[in-house]
Amino acid sequence: MSNKIDKLRDFPGYGGKRPLLYIPPERLFLDPQNPRLPLEAQGKDETKIKESLRKSYLDELAHSMAKNGYFDEEPLVAIPKDLPDEFLEQTYDELKDNKQYSDLLLNPTTEFIVVEGNRRLCTVKLLLSGEVSSYPQIDDGIRIDLGSLPVIIYPKRKDVIAYLGVRHIIGVKKWDAYAKARYIASMKENFGLTIDEIQNSVGDTSNSARKTYVCYRLIEVIENEYEFYDTSKAKDNFSYLMLALGQGSVKDFLGLPKQWSNIDFENFISPDKIENAFYLFSWLFGEGKEKPKVVEESRDITGKLTSVLRDASATIYLKEFRVLEEAYERCGGESMLLIKFLKRANRDLGRSLPLVEKYYNEEVEIQIQETERLIETINKIKK
């Protein structure tokens, strides 16, 4: 413990390093803007955020900390909770040699918001409080260890953008698809960064940030235009929406440019295409129990839906009847559909030939007569 207190007195963050201090958990607060939080916990108080994080399987983490303490090799990342105005416009390089800023960080009353490591911080708080009965009780040594946590300090949230982006968008600890989208939207809308700046800051060479942001905005459009529609499934299965918008025929269906580099974020979808966007959401995620989704798995998007949307008549059929397989059969026009039907009928008849003699009965005779009637009708149509 004394070693950690010594480190608190010493300020080792000059040079190229960010300040790393040891701070008691009661001065560390969970982040209400954490992209991984569900919508109902976004912007809420510490209690609500803690309740939400408890649902994200902290049990293993709790048992590990109760046995091993906190591993200093994984410091938290935080920003001052209420940074005085005099520091807001200064860069990190300016602040690192600023004695008033150093004094602020070392002041035992200064509080911080943890922007990276919320699950770890939440686990520490729950273990120390003992409020979760299923968590193990901690001994005095572990309690002392958890009473002072390693924290890397950044001055402002904007300064952490590159680190969090690299870690969770292209790095080894990736967020789920919707959390990434929420973070990209936050960088663009709250900090005024362009998509190019975001991609450059996190090293995104695949141009995926544009598509991610458009998918995020498309959910907002549906929420605004169709207030009755529950978009929670779209958020939970955000990767489906990403996959769909990566297909050329889906882009055409929504009126999006073929190249993401040509997207106009202010007017990315025209008013006359919003209804098509709602159809897409309905097919991918359903409309409650009355209208279940028609796309069952991801390969249905690339293998069938894309083909349907290239064919006007097949698209109309899918809109009206909501049966993807039948709409897919109509791709290529009704003449191709007729050929498909006849091929299928001939194939099934051929398979039945060896069974007719073996299992012939009255019911089989009725079906044979029905087949003969249909063939007779086809012959009349031919003439």
Decide: pTM greater than 0.85: no
3-state per-residue secondary structure call for the chain: CHHHHHHHHCCCCCCCCCCEEEECHHHEEECCCCCCCCHHHCCCCHHHHHHHHHCCCCHHHHHHHHHHCCCCCCCEEEEECCCCHHHHCCCHHHHCCCHHHHHHHHCCCCCEEEEECHHHHHHHHHHHHCCCCCCCCCCHHHHHHHCCEEEEECCCHHHHHHHHHHHHCCCCCCCCHHHHHHHHHHHHHHHCCCHHHHHHHHCCCCCHHHHHHHHHHHHHHHHHHCCCCCCHHHHHCHHHHHHHHCCHHHHHHHCCCCCHHHCCCCCCCCHHHHHHHHHHHHHHHCECCCECCCCCCHHHHHHHHHHHHCCHHHHHHHHHHCCHHHHHHCCCCHHHHHHHHHHHHHHHHHHHHHHHHHHCCHHHHHHHHHHHHHHHHHHHHHC
pLDDT digits (tens, 9 = 90+) for 172-220: 567 788 888 888 888 898 888 899 888 887 766 677 889 999 999 999 9
pLDDT digits (tens, 9 = 90+) for 237-251: 999 999 999 999 999
Domain assignments of the chain as residue spans, ordered by start: 2-155, 334-382
pLDDT at 14 over 50: no
pLDDT digits (tens, 9 = 90+) for 320-356: 999 999 999 888 745 666 777 788 888 888 888 888 8
* Choice between 7 and 183, residue whose per-residue pLDDT is larger: 183
Residue 18's pLDDT band (cuts 50, 70, 90):
low
Q: Given this model, what pLDDT does residue 54 score?
A: 84
pLDDT digits (tens, 9 = 90+) for 362-378: 888 888 899 988 888 88
Q: What is the mean pLDDT of the chain?
A: 87
